[in-house]
Amino acid sequence: MASTFVCVSSYCSRMSFTDLLIILLLLGCFHGSLGKPFSGESLSPVILMPGDGGSQFYAKLNKTTVPHVFCEKQTSDYFNLWLNIYELAPYLIDCFTDNMRLVYDRKTHTTHNAPGVDIQIRGWGDTETVEWLDPSHFGFTSYFYYIAQELESLGYKRGVSIRGAPYDFRKAPNELGGMYKKLQDLIEDTYILNNKSSVTLIGHSMGNPVTLYFLNHMPQAWKDKYVRRFISLAGVWAGVIKTLRLFASGDNLDVYVVEAIKARLEQRSMESTAWLLPSDLYWAADEILVSRPERNYTVKDLKQFFLDLNFTDGYDMFLDTKDLIRDLTPPGVEVHCLHGFNLTTPGRLVYGPNMWPNSQPKVIPDDGDGTVNLRSLVACKNWIGKQKQTVHHQQFIHAEHMEILKDPRIIKYLKSVLLS
C-alpha cells in the first residue's frame, strides 16, 4: 500500500482530495471500508487438512509376488499410485489394490505397507498435492483447488499463507504421531511466516476428526497463540454407515469403471475405515445397520459382523481406534461446522439371499450429504456451550460431500469468515 501511495502522491499538488481518493479506491488500496487495508499480511493464514483419499501417493516397488503377470514387481523410481485413473482400470485395479493395501500386525496393533512397497506422500506444506488428487490435474480430480483459488483472490499466497498437510489417510490418529509433530511445526512456521498471525485450519471429511484429535492433545495456551479458528467441511464426527459396505462388499466410490468388490481388499485394510464405523453413541443398540437372511447387525454386533466376514483384523482395528475421539471433546478453538443435508445417504444395508457378502446390497436411505449421515455431521453442535470459544453451525441444503469443496455458498461463507 505504501508504494502505491507514493506513486500517486507526487501528483497531489495538482489534484483535489476527491480525485486522489477515487484513484486510491480504483487501485485497490482500500477494501470494504476506508481505513481498512486489503493485505494478505492481515489475513489469518490457512492450512488445508484433507480427508480420506485427499492426499497423493507415490510408490516404488520391489516385490516378489503380484496378483497377475502383468502387474509390475519392480520399479526403478517412484510412480503415481493415488490418484491415478489408469490404475483403476479393469484388471489393473488388482495391481493397484495390492500395492495400496496395508498389512495389520496383531502383536503391535500397527499397520504397514504391503511387502515390497514403499510409499511416499509428497507436498508437505505446499498445496498442489491437496488441491488435486491426480497430479495431471484432470478436472474431476480437483480437491481443495477451488478454495485455494478463491483464497488467492483475497490476497492469500500458495505455499506461504495457504498451506497443505497431506498425510497417510489409510491410518487412524493412533498411527499418525509423526504427522502430528510435523503439523505442529507447520502451524508454528506458518504463524511466523505470516507476521505472527494465528492460523485457520480448514478440514474436509475425515480430515476433521484427524484435526480434532490433534487439537485435543495440544495445550490450551498453545492453541490460544497459534490457532485462530477451525473450519470443518462435511465432518465425519460419529462414523458413517458407508464404512460397513467397504468392509462387507467394497465400494466403487462412484467411479463407474471400478468394480466395488475389487476395491474391497484395500478398503478393508485401512485402519481409518475401522475408525469411522458408526458410533454407539449416535446409533441405538436396537437399530439395524446391516441385514441379511441369516442375521441382523447393530452397533453392538460388530464383533459378529467381522466374524461372519471372516475378517477379524477388522474388529481388532476397530478396538484399537474406537475411543480416539468417541466422546468428542471440544477442540478448544473457535469452530465453524459446515455441512450439507437432504441428500440420499446410506442408512441401512440389506443383503438378499445369496448376496452376502460379495454382492452389492440394497441401500435403505437416510438423510445426510450423500456420504455422511446427518446425525454424524451435526454432532459438532454438542460443543455449543461446552467451551468458551464460539461454535458456529450451519447446514446447506443439497451440499454434497465432495461438491461442498466448490459450492459457491461455502466459498462465500469462507470468505466472510476469513475477512472478519
Q: What are the residue numbers of the active site?
A: 205, 369, 401
Query: In this structure, are residues 290 and 305 in contact, taking their beta carbons and an 8 Å threshold?
Result: yes
Report d(CA 126, CA 135) in Å as an integer. Answer: 13
Pairing, β 391-397 against β 102-105? unpaired
CA-based nearest residue to 167, from 272, 265, 74: 272
- DSSP string covering 299-319: GGGHHHHHHHHT-HHHHHHHH
Label residues 183-196 b or e (16+ Cβ within 10 Å = b).
beebbeebbeebee
244 burial via Cβ count (<10 Å: 0-12, 13-18, 19+): buried
CA dihedral 232, 237, 240, 246 (to 10 degrees): 80
419 burial via Cβ count (<10 Å: 0-12, 13-18, 19+): middle
Please state the φ and ψ torsions of residue 13, each to the nearest 5 degrees.
-65, -20
Pairing, β 290-292 against β 295-297? antiparallel
Cell of 283: 446409533
Cell of 26: 480504483
Q: How far is CA 117 from CA 134, 171, 200, 232, in A?
A: 20, 16, 35, 33
**Residue 350's beta-bridge partner residues?**
291, 362
- Alpha-carbon dihedral sign for residues 28, 32, 36, 40: negative
Report d(CA 194, CA 46) in Å as an integer. Answer: 10
Cell of 40: 494478505
